[in-house]
Structure 1
C-alpha cells in the first residue's frame, strides 16, 4: 500500500496538504481550490483491484476512525466519535467476570477520552461513559466516578507492577471462591492465579438456535486428536488450528511420526477417515499440552515418539475408563 500511495501521489494532478493513512482509512486535507472528486477519480484509476470511496466534512465535522474532527476557523478540534449504530453495551456489572476486568473497561474509555479529546470537550465526552455504565450496564455510580477520576488524575503516574511469582496458574473465574483460592495460593505457595471466563451464552448459543457442542463443528480448533493405523497402533497429537489443516499436514509430511511409521511398515495403512477428536476448543496451549500428555498416558499410543509434557507421578490416570478420570494419590 505504501508503494501504491507513493506512485499515486507523485502523479496526482495536485498535492494534498496532508495525507495520513491507518490501514485502509485515509485522512486528507486539500486546498479550497482543489476538487476532492478529481483526486478520488485519479486514485481509482491507479489499480483495477483497489477502489476508494470518499466522505467529506459535513457541518465542518468529519469522523476518522474513532475521532470526530471539527474544522474550526483556527485549528482542527478532535473529540470522541461513535457510529450511530453503536449500542453502548459492554460487560454488564452482574455478569460473571472478574471485577478488575469490569473496572478496566471503564478505565480504558476514560483514557481514550483524555487521549483523543480537546480539553474543552473532555468533560462532555466523559459524561457519555458515565451514563452508559451506570444506566445501561448496571455499574455502581461510585465505582464509575472514582475510576474515571483516578484515571484522569493519575494517568501518567502508574504504580509499578509487583514482581511476578515463579509459578502462575490459570483457573476459571467462579466469583468469591476464586478470590479466596487466589489469596491462598499467593500466601501459602507463592503462586499467582489468573482467571478466565467459563462458558458464556455467547459460546453456548448460536444464531440458528443450536448449541455449540463439538458435534456441530466437524472442524474444531484447539483440539486433541487420535489417528489410527490398521495394525492397531495409534497416534495422539494436538493443534491450535482447525483440525482439517493439521490432518492435511500429517498426510503430506515426510518427517512426522506417522510418515515414519509408514516407511518402517509399508504394508500398513493409516485410517484417515475415522480420526477421533478427544477434546476441542482448548485455546490455552498449556492446557492442550497437558491434555495431550494425559491422553498419551491413558491410551498408550505406539506411534508417538514421546510422552508429551511432564506429568507428576502423583497423578493417577485411569487407563481403563472411556472418559478422562484423574486423581491425586
Structure 2
C-alpha cells in the first residue's frame, strides 16, 4: 500500500489540491477533504482505476464519521473523538470465570478502560463511556473491587500523557514457555525468582478434533521407513483416496511393470509421479515439494476450469476422476 500511495495517491492533482490529512491503518484510510463532494468522488474514481486489484469504497460526511473503533465529529471548530460501537456488536468480553490466567483477565479490563480514556476527547463523555465499559465487565462477572480500583487509577491519569505511549526497553533474557494448566501457579512460584514466565495456548476441543494437514509425526515416518517398498497412502490427507497402492507402476501402453524402488506416499518429496487417465494416457510429473501439494494444485486447476494447463485441460475435456501413483528413481 505504501508503494501504491506514493505512485497513485500523493501525486494526484485533486489530492494535492484538496486533501489536508491522509491517515491510513492497514487498508482503512481517514482523510480530511477541503473541497466539493464531486472532487472527492472523482479522486476515488481515479485511484480505483489505477490497479485492478486495489479498490476503495467511499464513506464521507460533513459532521461526523466512524473510523475503526472511533467516531470523529466536529464541535466548536475542532475535531473531537468518541468511542464507536456498532449497533450489532454484542458483549463478547472474556468471562471472568473462564480458565485463563488471572493476570490476563485483570490486564484485559484495565486495557479496555485505558482505551476508552485515550479515545474519548471530552472529559464528560469519557466518564460516561468508562461507566458503560465497567458495566459490560460486570455483566461478565468481573468483581466490583477490581473494576473500581482500576477505574480510579485510569481517571487519575492525564489523557495527554496516556496518548504519548510508553517506550519499552527490550532486554535479552531466557524465557520459560509452557502451557497454562491447574499446576501453573505452583510452577510459577518455583521459577518466579529466576525466569519471567510466558504461556502458550493449551489444547482445546478444536485442536484435538481437527487435525492439521501439515507434516506427519515421527512415528508414522519411522513406520514408512521400515515398511516394504511401493506406493502407499499416508492415511493422513484427502489425497490418499487417489493413490494406487502397490509395489509396481505399469507402463500406460506396453503394460509392463516398473519396479518402485523405495517406499513413497502422498507425503513424499523430490518425487516422480504418474497421473493415469482411464482413456489410456498418463501424465508423468516431478516435484521437489510433497506429492500431496502438487496433486492438490492439479485438482484445484481442474475444479476452477484452467484449461490452459495440461492435466486440467485433459481431465476437463474427458470429465474423468484423478488417479495417481508416485515413485522416485535413484
Fold in common (TM above 0.5): yes
Matched ranges for 1:97-116 at <5 A: 97-116=100-119
Q: 2:262 aligns with which of 244, 269, 280?
A: 269
Instruction: Tell me the SS of whatever aligns to 2:3.
Output: helix
Q: Distance in 1 between matches of 2:150 and 2:195?
A: 28
Structure 1 match to 2:208:
213
Structure 2 match to 1:306:
none
Q: Where do 5+ consecutive residues of structure 2 fail to align?
A: 229-235, 238-259, 269-330
* Alignment check: 8 A CA contact 2:178 2:198 kept: yes
Q: For structure 1, which segment, 221-230 or 92-101, has the greater mean C-alpha deviation from structure 2 after superposition?
A: 221-230
Structure 1 match to 2:180:
172
Once the two structures are superposed, what CA deviation does each residue of 1:260-318 show, in whole Å capped at 9, x if it has no partner? xxxxxxx951433489xxxxxxxxxxxxxxxxxxxxxxxxxxxxxxxxxxxxxxxxxxx
Structure 1 residues 31 and 100, CA gap change in structure 2 (3 angstroms): same
Q: Distance in 1 between matches of 2:4 and 2:141?
A: 48
- Size of the aligned set, in residue pairs, is 228
Instruction: Tell me the SS of whatever aligns to 1:78.
Output: strand
Matched ranges for 1:218-297 at <5 A: 219-220=213-214, 226-228=220-222, 232=226, 269-273=262-266
Once the two structures are superposed, what CA deviation does each residue of 1:73-125 show, in whole Å capped at 9, x if it has no partner? 41100111122222121110111111111011111112212222214332122
Give the C-alpha shift of residue 25 in structure 1.
Answer: 1.0
Instruction: Tell me the SS of whatever aligns to 1:54.
Output: coil
Q: Distance in 2 between matches of 1:165 and 1:30?
A: 49
* Alignment check: 8 A CA contact 2:101 2:180 kept: no
Structure 2 match to 1:290:
none
Give the C-alpha shift of residue 231 in structure 1.
Answer: 6.0
The alignment's TM-score, normalised by the length of structure 2, stands at 0.57
Give the C-alpha shift of residue 2 in structure 1.
Answer: 2.5
Rg larger in structure: 2
Q: Distance in 1 between matches of 2:177 and 2:24?
A: 41
The alignment's TM-score, normalised by the length of structure 1, stands at 0.57
Q: Where do 5+ consecutive residues of structure 1 fail to align?
A: 206-211, 235-242, 245-266, 276-329
Matched ranges for 1:5-44 at <5 A: 5-6=5-6, 7-13=8-14, 14-35=17-38, 36-44=40-48
* Alignment check: 8 A CA contact 2:72 2:80 kept: yes
* Alignment check: 8 A CA contact 1:231 1:268 kept: no
* Alignment check: 8 A CA contact 2:83 2:120 kept: yes
Give the C-alpha shift of residue 167 in structure 1.
Answer: 6.6
